[in-house]
């Protein structure tokens, strides 16, 4: 009569190798996205409260409130919010001038609020770097899409500027490496491949960038400035 393993003394017991499934309650919840941060600048308190409430209802964290453009710029500088929603007509410093300062400092996208929609005002806002423009009176359906567009456009522009700066840096590095290679070839008698390998190896050995090595070659071998 055949004997199964579990009938044999000392035999290992059958093991259940199936992985238990987690219940919905046991599954870890996905990490919540941090609330985006906003600064609101409006000299009329009731309108400012309305803007703040609209943003909070949409999931934003309003980290600062201002009553004039100078305060708005100071808050944007200190807090680095994801967006600044700001009235055009304010004391001390108007919203368009404040938007220009915020834009030049690369602090945050700006959404401008105004009771007027004249073409020249819209053009001034655009030239100041405002990402979006909302005419009063407005509803959440007017304000929130403008805020989202401003944040998205700002992210795209920032990424493009970073890419352009990176390309410019790489181009300048290549120019200086080529200049350093030429000096090593004429002054030290190296071939072009030898010159490049020397710069590359020195960069690795000294833990310097190739641009730093090239600058040193230009200054020390060429006797000139790297700039």
Residue 105 within any structural domain of the chain: yes
Query: Distance between CA 193 and CA 198 in Å, rounded?
Result: 9
Is 44 inside any structural domain?
Answer: yes
Is there a domain that residue 148 lies in? no
Q: Within this chain, do residues 172 and 123 fall inside the same structural domain, yes or no?
A: no
* DSSP structural state of residue 90: -
Which CATH number does the domain housing residue 173 bear? 1.10.10.10
- Whole-model pTM: value is 0.66
| 182 CB-near residues (< 8 Å, 6+ apart) | 195
What's the pLDDT score for residue 27? 66
Domain-located, residue 91? yes
Residue 86 and residue 111 in contact, taking contact as beta carbons nearer than 8 Å:
yes
Looking at the structure, do residues 93 and 184 belong to the same domain, yes or no? no
Domain carrying residue 46: 37-138
Q: Is residue 26 part of a domain?
A: no
Q: Are 86 and 38 in contact (CB under 8 A)?
A: no
The per-residue pLDDT for 115 is: 84
From 100, 106, 104, select the one nearest 69 (Cα to Cα): 100
**Same domain for 173 and 98:** no
In a structure prediction context, what are the per-residue pLDDT tens digits for the chain, which is 227 residues long? 444 444 444 444 454 445 455 565 566 666 667 889 999 999 999 999 999 999 999 999 999 999 999 999 999 999 999 999 999 999 999 999 999 999 999 999 999 998 877 777 778 888 888 999 899 989 999 999 999 999 999 999 989 988 888 898 889 999 999 999 999 999 889 999 999 999 999 999 999 999 999 999 999 987 765 55
Report the 10 Å Cβ neighbour count for 146: 19
DSSP secondary structure string for all residues of 113-135: EES---HHHHHHHHHTT-SEEEE
Q: Which of 136, 135, 75, 120 is nearest to 101 (CA)?
A: 75
Cβ count within 10 A of residue 50: 18
- Which of 88, 123, 138 is where one domain is finished? 138
CATH of the domain at 96: 3.40.50.2300
> Is residue 7 in some structural domain?
no
Residue 149 burial (C-beta neighbours within 10 Å; 0-12, 13-18, 19+): middle
Closest CA to 70 of 46, 48, 86, 52: 86
Q: How many domains does the chain have?
A: 2
The two three-digit tokens of residue 80, written as one number: 């680095």
Q: How far apart are CA 110 and CA 95, in angstroms?
A: 10
Contacts of 173 (CB under 8 A, 6+ apart): 209, 210, 211, 214
């Amino acid at each position: 009569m055949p004997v199964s393993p579990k009938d044999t003394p000392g035999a290992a017991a059958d093991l259940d190798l199936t992985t238990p499934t987690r219940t919905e309650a046991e599954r870890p919840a996905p990490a919540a996205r941090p609330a985006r941060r906003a600064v609101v600048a409006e000299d009329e308190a009731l309108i400012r409260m309305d803007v703040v409430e609209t943003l909070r209802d949409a999931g934003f964290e309003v980290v600062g409130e201002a009553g004039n453009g100078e305060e708005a710029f100071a808050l944007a500088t200190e807090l680095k919010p994801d967006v600044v929603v700001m009235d055009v007509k304010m004391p001390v410093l108007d919203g368009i001038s404040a938007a220009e300062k915020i834009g030049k400092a690369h602090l945050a996208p700006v959404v401008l609020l105004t009771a007027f929609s004249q073409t020249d005002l819209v053009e001034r806002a655009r030239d100041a770097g405002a990402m979006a423009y909302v005419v009063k009176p407005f509803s959440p359906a007017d304000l929130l899409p403008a805020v989202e567009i401003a944040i998205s456009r700002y992210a795209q522009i920032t990424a493009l500027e970073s890419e352009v700066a990176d390309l410019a840096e790489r181009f300048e590095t290549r120019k200086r490496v080529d200049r350093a290679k030429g000096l090593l070839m004429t002054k030290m008698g190296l071939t072009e491949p030898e010159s490049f390998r020397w710069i590359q190896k020195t960069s690795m050995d000294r833990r310097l960038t190739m641009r730093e090595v090239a600058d040193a070659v230009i200054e020390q071998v060429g006797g000139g400035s790297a700039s």
